[in-house]
Amino acid sequence: MEEFLTAHFWLAVGQIIMIDILLGGDNAVVIALACRQLPAHQRAKGILWGTAGAIVLRVILIAFALTLLQVPFLKLVGAVLLMWIGVKLLVPEEEGHSDIQGSDKLWAAVKTVIVADLVMSVDNVIAIAGAATGAGSQHQVPLVIFGLLISIPIIIWGSQLVLKLMDRFPAIITVGGMLLGWIAGTMAHSDPALRESLPQTSVWHYGMGAVGALGVLVLGTAFKRRAQRPA
């Protein structure tokens, strides 16, 4: 129980919540599109069951990811992917959802929500697994579940508010991208393959996190400026 009261635990919970808000914005759109043809009295059920199934599958995927991240060099691969996800977050692209088919049948809509969320969850899984490994806790899966449970109502009922805040304060997205870079740097430092060659000290740990955060900021800014140049 004491491990649940540490600063590392709550820092990781905060990171998981922010990651799920930043990278899970499309989830609310997918849920709405998948359930739009349901009768009014079934929409709440479709949203709740679809979200519950998607979260259960995501927890299973993250549990596998946490295990795989103990294999040498896989944290380095995950760190590179996280850096790229962070950079893409700073250079938003228009994403279409026209391929999300609604259904007037409850369980068909639920299945659509789960499958669509599963396809879209690769970035969330990598990022949340990286945040959980940084907690230095033996209770990483409960940590992930706790963080995701807190995120659910924020994503479902607060998605519009979150999107408006991001539009009004773009710095939130920048901070989120840098957070992914920070997690990437600290995750790379803890890769089993590098434990012998890199000093396992706080200075190196946080130093690599800072390098990752700055790397995402520099690359993201460069790509954003390039994308905004007139053709």
What share of the chain in percent tops pLDDT 70?
73
Question: 130 falls in which pLDDT band (50, 70, 90)?
Answer: confident
Range of the domain at 181: 2-228
Question: 207 falls in which pLDDT band (50, 70, 90)?
Answer: very high
Contact 158, 210 (CB under 8 A): no
Question: How many CB atoms are closer than 10 A to CB 83?
Answer: 23
For residue 92, pLDDT beyond 70: no
pLDDT number for residue 202: 84
Question: 5 falls in which pLDDT band (50, 70, 90)?
Answer: low
For residue 120, pLDDT beyond 70: no
**pLDDT tens-digit profile of 9-45?**
777 778 887 777 776 656 666 666 677 677 877 877 8
Domains of the chain: total: 1
Contact 89, 174 (CB under 8 A): no
pLDDT number for residue 157: 66
Exposure string (b/e) for 114-148, b if CB count within 10 Å is 16 or more? Answer: bbbbeebbebbbbbbbbbbbbbebeebeebbbbbb
Angle at 228 between CA 227 and CA 231, to 5 degrees: 85
**pLDDT tens-digit profile of 154-204?**
666 655 566 667 778 888 888 888 988 998 898 888 888 887 788 888 899
Kindly state the average pLDDT of the residues 88-97: 65
Contact 46, 35 (CB under 8 A): yes
What is the CA 67 to chain-centroid distance, rounded?
18
**pLDDT tens-digit profile of 37-91?**
778 778 778 777 877 777 788 788 888 887 877 788 888 888 888 888 888 878 8
Burial class of residue 72 in the structure, from the number of CB atoms within 10 Å of its CB (0-12 exposed, 13-18 middle, 19+ buried):
exposed
